[in-house]
Structure 1
């Protein structure tokens, strides 16, 4: 897998990517074919794009390239509290220029990818021919999802045994794909997370969660900069991403909105919807005019182009400090407040402590110890498909489709005061103090007898 190294005085990132060319790099691209850049789903990487790379409708007629986020897949980076979606957009622009890519069509899947794609189109319009957005999220996360994901991420990252880790991973599957996920897809997701996002890589997990949970709405001043054709593909059965937000963005961007009946989260990997997404996307892109293979930034150095992008960001935000920042650093594009940056940095620091000695849910060969579906079912208190834990039997008998599972909570997006600034500010991974007794057992038992006697009296 090839990489693009991005380095500056305050930052370093090595961005991994894949292509559909014979040699696996951009040198094998056919200059007569349009180029499609795919941004993988949140908490996944480019290895989960097999439904797109193996589809002849895309593979035969388009050059395909997919970039991993700096904290996803095989990418590596120096962790920073300044990481937001504007930084991801800058990473994508640096990679685009380093590989001398022609203008690309972007297919962005789920929250982090969509926020990156929108900001990329705003700052680098000549590099982006069109946008296709799968499952447009709310501007900020819904309150119940925000709380649920924050708890799951902490449990996930500080799991001390396989059962605890699998429980957190299963909760994540339920939140993302719902309780009716096929066993094979559920096993593959959990096995992937065990391999790539285990507790010894919890800083990577937390930094992705920071970008996902602490996202900010795209400023109203940025929408006029998006002039490319836009397609929105939205699942109508996705209770975690209500359809009204896709409708709102389609109105703001004058986009084409296509609704996938019965579609949930992860439309591009879920059985039954991936092919539909590909078909709709191919029809959309095939109707757009073709552009030559020339690099859109020809005649400009990378530093000059990135400085112009900082100027655009200054005009959108009204913050004159962007002009003074290093144009060769992706972190210069961060739009988070100093308070949020400090809190994200503190959280990453807390997650780094003890990371190398954390629990590893892998065997000696570096592979998962077992498949989730193969775990022993000897616990009398077991989690069932409804998302509840109880001892045998059924909590209630299903009457029709609506009774098969409890309804998802209904809530509105969080406000900045509730979320980004106030997010678990007193977090500490150590919640229970361990008392070490330095004495003989006889003295301990003898010395504690009066106290125990009083307690029982």
Structure 2
């Protein structure tokens, strides 16, 4: 499998990538075709880009390449509190320079991918031909999403049984995709998370979520360096990404905006919206000058080019210490405040405790125990498509026969159970105290019972 190893004095990451070439790597690219780099959605990986890789409109006209971000998919890295979207943009640049990729178009799917693409285009404008941004997020995470993420991630990482894990996974599907999702896609998503993002990999989950929750707005000066053609695609039914942020981004970058009617979260995956996104994107790129994909012959070394990017980042942020950092380390591009870095590092230490002994929702062969739709449905509450839970199920066996003159009483209609704030309860970190009984059970029970004469007082 193709990987790009990025190593330095304080960091190591092995970045997995895939392509639509016959050999599966960049060596099989057609130099006469332009290259499109597709950045996968948050909490997924490049394997979920099959609607783009399998679309003839893209596959036949472009060289397609996709990288798994450092804490997603098959990529591996050292856990670090110094991880933000600037680091991911540096990862993308180092991979492109190592593979000698010609300047390419970028198709970014959802939050973290968009933040990475914008920062890459600002720091390395000569390597980026155009930008297409699907579902532009808010500059900083909305409060209700931050709260929901905080509680979902903790419940996810500390689930102790299959039912708890499936419940929080279903809540995550509803938060990211909405309630209008096909059962097949829902089952595939939960099975993917069970396989790649189970509680024994909770450090990767937390680190990926921290990039989303602790992001900061792009500096105003950086917008001046994003001069490439930009297309903004927005789903008008996406509650997590209000349209006003897409309009603001389109105004800042002087780009056009296309609305997908009825489109919710993760436009690139459901069959209907994915086809619309692909069609709009192909029309957008076809109007641009056609570029070739001949292997790049750089005039300067990778270290020198990354040093120039650090100097530009210093200009954006005003942090004079950036120029003194190691240019070949992606972590050198981190722009988080020191208190956030310390907080993320301490959080990773906390989540790492007991990680190897956490619940594993897989069989000994590494496959999910069951599909979500195959779970037993004898629960007292059952989640419906609109996000509500209804009382249902039968807990008592029915009589084999009903007397002729007796009619069964009609059961009351189930009413929705409304959960306050619509959030899950926060998962606990410290187990409850356990008490050891040194006396016989008979004496313990006798001492706990009230005296007989007290019952008549």
Q: TM (normalized to structure 1)?
A: 0.90
SS at match of 2:116: helix
Three-state SS of the structure 1 residue aligned to 2:241 is coil
1:308-358 deviation per Cα after TM superposition (whole angstroms, max 9, x unaligned): 000000011111100110101000000000000000111111110000000
Larger mean Cα displacement after TM superposition, 354-363 or 436-445: 436-445
Question: May I ask how many residue pairs the two structures share in their alignment?
Answer: 430
**Residue deviations 1:222-271 (CA, integer Å, cap 9, x gap):** 10010000001100011111111000000000011111111111111012
> Secondary structure of 2:4's match?
strand
Quote the offset at 1:450 in angstroms. 6.5
| Structure 1 contact 350–429 (Cα < 8 Å) conserved | no
- 2:30/2:293 contact within 8 Å kept: no
Greater shift, 291-300 or 342-351, is seen at 291-300
Unaligned runs of 5+ in 1: 397-404, 410-426
Cα distance in 2, alignment partners of residues 328 and 319 from structure 1: 18
For the residues of structure 2 that align with 1:388 and 1:281, how far apart are their CA atoms? 36
The answer (yes or no) to whether the contact 2:5–2:13 under 8 Å persists in 1 is yes
Query: Does the 8 Å CA contact 1:19/1:26 hold for their aligned counterparts?
Result: yes
1: distance between equivalents of 2:46 and 2:85? 18
Q: 1:27 aligns to what SS in structure 2?
A: helix
Question: Residues 185-233 of structure 1, C-alpha deviation per residue, up to 9 Å, x if partnerless?
Answer: 1000000000000000000110110001111110111100100000011
Gaps of 5+ in 2: 393-412
Flag the structure with larger Rg: 2
Aligned to 2:438: 439
Q: Shift of the alpha carbon at 1:292?
A: 3.8
Q: Distance in 2 between matches of 1:387 and 1:226?
A: 40
Contact 1:13 1:77 in 2 (8 A): yes
Distance 2:74 2:359 in 1: 20
C-alpha distance 31-72 of structure 1, shift in aligned 2 (>3 A) = same
- Contact 2:160/2:358, CA 8 A, preserved across alignment: yes
Compute the RMSD of aligned alpha carbons. 2.2
Q: Deviations over 1:331-389 (max 9, x none)?
A: 00000000000001111111100000000001121110111011000112222223233
> SS in structure 2 opposite 1:148?
helix
CA contact (8 A) 2:85 2:215 kept: yes
Question: CA 1:248–1:394 in structure 2 vs 1: closer, same or farther (change >3 Å)?
Answer: farther
Asked if 2 retains the 8 angstrom alpha-carbon contact of 1:126 and 1:296, the reply is: no
Measure how far apart 1:293 and its partner are. 3.3
> Paired residue for 1:123?
123
Structure 1 position 428, deviation (Å): 8.5
- Distance in 2 between residues matched to 1:394 and 1:447, nearest whole Å: 45
The answer to whether residue 154 in structure 2 is matched with residue 154 in structure 1 is yes
Distance 2:435 2:454 in 1: 23
Partner of 1:424: none
C-alpha distance in 1 between matches for 2:383 and 2:435: 35
Distance 1:334 1:275 in 2: 36
In 2: Cα distance, 1:206 partner to 1:385 partner: 28
* Equivalent residue, structure 1, for 2:49: 49
| In 1: Cα distance, 2:66 partner to 2:144 partner | 31
* TM-score for the superposition, normalised by structure 2: 0.90
2:321 is paired with a residue of what secondary structure?
Answer: helix
Partner of 2:184: 184
Contact 2:51 2:271 in 1 (8 A): no
1:395 matched to 2:394? The reply is no
1:12-51 equivalences in 2 (<5 Å)? 12-51=12-51
Q: Check conservation: 1:136, 1:246, Cα contact below 8 A.
A: yes
Distance 1:312 1:108 in 2: 23
Q: Is the 8 A contact 1:103 1:295 kept in 2?
A: no
Give the whole-Å Cα distance in 2 for the aligned partners of 1:271 and 1:294. 33
TM superposition shift of 1:440: 4.1
In structure 1, the partner of 2:133 is 133
- Write the distance in 2 (CA, Å) between the matches of 1:450 and 1:57: 80
Q: Decide whether the 8 Å contact of 2:155 with 2:427 is kept in 1.
A: no
Given that residues 32 and 293 in structure 1 are in contact (C-alpha distance below 8 angstroms), is that contact kept between their aligned partners in structure 2? yes
Question: In 1, are the aligned partners of 2:231 and 2:257 still within 8 Å (CA)?
Answer: yes
